Structure 1
Amino acid sequence: MTAVDAILARLLALHPKRIDLSLDRMWRVLDRLGHPERSLPPVIHVAGTNGKGSTIAFLRAMLEAASLSAHVYTSPNLVRVNERFRIGRAGGGELVSDDELAATLAECEHANGDAPITVFEIETAAAFLLFSRHKADALLLEVGLGGRLDATNVIEHPVASVITPVSMDHMEFLGDTLESIAAEKAAIIRADVPAVIGRQTEGPLAVITDRAERVGAPLCVLGQDWTVGEERGRLVYQDLKGLMDLPAPRLYGRHQFDNAGTAIAALRASGLALPASAFEQGILKADWPARLQRLTTGKLAALVPPGSELWLDGSHNADGGRITAAVIADFEERVPRPLILVVGMLSTKDTAGFLANFTGLARRLIAVPVHQEKGLPADTIADVARMIGLAADSTDTVEAALARIARLDIEAPPRILITGSLYLAGEVLAANGTPPV
């Protein structure tokens, strides 16, 4: 066990409930730390259900292409907790070192004492303390869950508030309607701070617009104040400042055009001045692990049948599954292959809603367990898949699933997609020997 792991284990004992939405504990520990959240670089605060991480990846790549430095705080991590804390450096950032992270977490632990606090709250306090001690041109801050009572929502004066698409997820904490979920996420919007809004359905957009108008935040809405789309294989972005004809994102999927556009809109609204070349280079360089990531090397990649494709995607809710399935369908149009799914999910997710996106597309599904407290048994996933018309069975490990796929009697090398959970994606990257850096 590392020093970081030992500290996190002690903190978990202070508040075993991993999610307990409140700001009281955050304000208490930040006060004891001398309010590091007031000494941060300009903050771009990002909430939403899907697309937060990809939007932040574009933001970071664009800032770095302009020779600016950007701290990044995201969650969850895939393999190591260090992934949540990226220190901005000139020419590109780097994950926080084990020693510096352990020292910062220990300082926060000491300041908190024995008072109840969640691990995410201490991690967020540590992020603010860490970032306050390193100069940078910006901080890209991802909301952990929701917005209103999320530990990141102690930032009082960001330079931009961003809300990516809102859909159904975490209903046990945020409410069981799109409107209630949108209200939680819209609570990051601040007076006089530009609110950059990605693609939304009618109900969430009305809720978000109402919040912005009530607090006095300038709105910058996709489809109203800016547009983004694909034309002749390129990304075309337009707002009141003009039109940009840019290359297509390196990240796969038409939804990444929206995410890249949201990043551009946020940077242009924030007051952070970037040359046009930075947008072009950033779109090409942005990378975000486990989001339609193709695995071509590593221990797991070596197990698939010769000529096969192995893909990894962390989508885990119904809308995320819809987006992923649309990208796979596009692949299928261009290069047809039998699609085999390897799926692991948490019990808190809408398994049937997620899997329904792949009916008529996937040839077969092999369910695997996710080694988390709320991991859904593989047999249960397979049962749900069969109920909605997917041929399915289960096995104990991803390695066993890939071995089973290698024995299938199918007419061509398959396209294999491992999906259903970011936790599963982390297990896969660790087992494959290709963790994020």
Structure 2
Amino acid sequence: MTARPDVAILSNARLVLSDRVIENGWLAMQDGQIAAFGEGRPPERGEDMGGDIVMPGLIELHTDHLEAHYMPRPKVYWNPVSAVVSYDGQLATSGITTVLDSLRVWREDATDDSDGEAVLLANAISAAREAGLLRADHYLHLRCEVPMPGVVNEAASLFARNDVRLASLMDHTPGQRQFRDEDKLRTYYRGKNAGMSEADLDKMFASRIAYQREFGARNYRALVELAQRQQTPLASHDDTTLDHVEQAIADGIAIAEFPTTIEAAAALHQAGIRVMMGAPNLVRGGSHSGNVATADLAREGLLDILSSDYVPSSLLAAAVTMPTLVDGIDLASAVRTVTKTPAEAVGFTDRGEIAPGKRADLIRVHVAHDVPAVRAVWRAGERVA
């Protein structure tokens, strides 16, 4: 190709394609898209990447980190638009160019948390987007706590939004799924709400069990029907048993978030449901809840998608280090779990890989001491970080 003034060329890069790595490659961007790429010297002089990795921008399907910016301390609430802008900056500098902001669609009076603020935060994201304040491309992921009494009404007010791309069906009732070990749930809440006594926790757990008994089955069916009417992909959450897997299959679940056992993950994967696991789990070497390790699923060929969950920088760290942790997984395969596969899972066909005609959502990554650092970020060909 012959470069024109409106063509930007990156040269001397390790280009990570969806199926291989070009060790000394170049890439051309034009009109917000990838125009061409190749090996060796580019057709015209470009910006020297110094041998750094150039890969697709990361695609994040599950991060509830926005709520930490909105409520940085218990009962301390930040301006919601300002919180969105701060959070967006952290995502962009972590290499994330497309994100599904995970908003909790429920309220629980017993906790000091940002539950029940999904509408407020969704509106803040829209306001920041319309004002041109955002670096990443933002969509919504509705995290629906199935047994909560008001969850169906709250979800119904959000499902019609055109920026909703995923809804997850969660059930954190003590004694099941992620928290089969009730002591783990007690430890979790003691960390989040230091003022809660054992009596407070007993009361909360009894309330949750009662909610699950009274509302669980009815709310589950209503939420599935809402999502299906809006043609919104559904995610299951913390599948543990084969009964959970059978339910996921029956309801057309697209993504299984954080299955807790290798048996459930294997059955989900075999059924064609994409298995999502936490990047912090991989980086830390295991689950903080004592469930199955991400690395173990990767070794068994059962890992499809990584999520940063509560640490935005973990998404890139996990993708770059996975080849050193899991035999048989190369860099291209690892990067697919944070780019191409999550894009496909929620219907993004225009991004997620380096290929002609795809959006020029790209990141430049330098690795030193086994730690990746983002040096540059392009969204639709425009430098945003």
TM-score by length of 1: 0.26
Instruction: Name the structure where helix makes up a greater proportion of residues.
Output: 1
Instruction: Name the structure where strand makes up a greater proportion of residues.
Output: 2
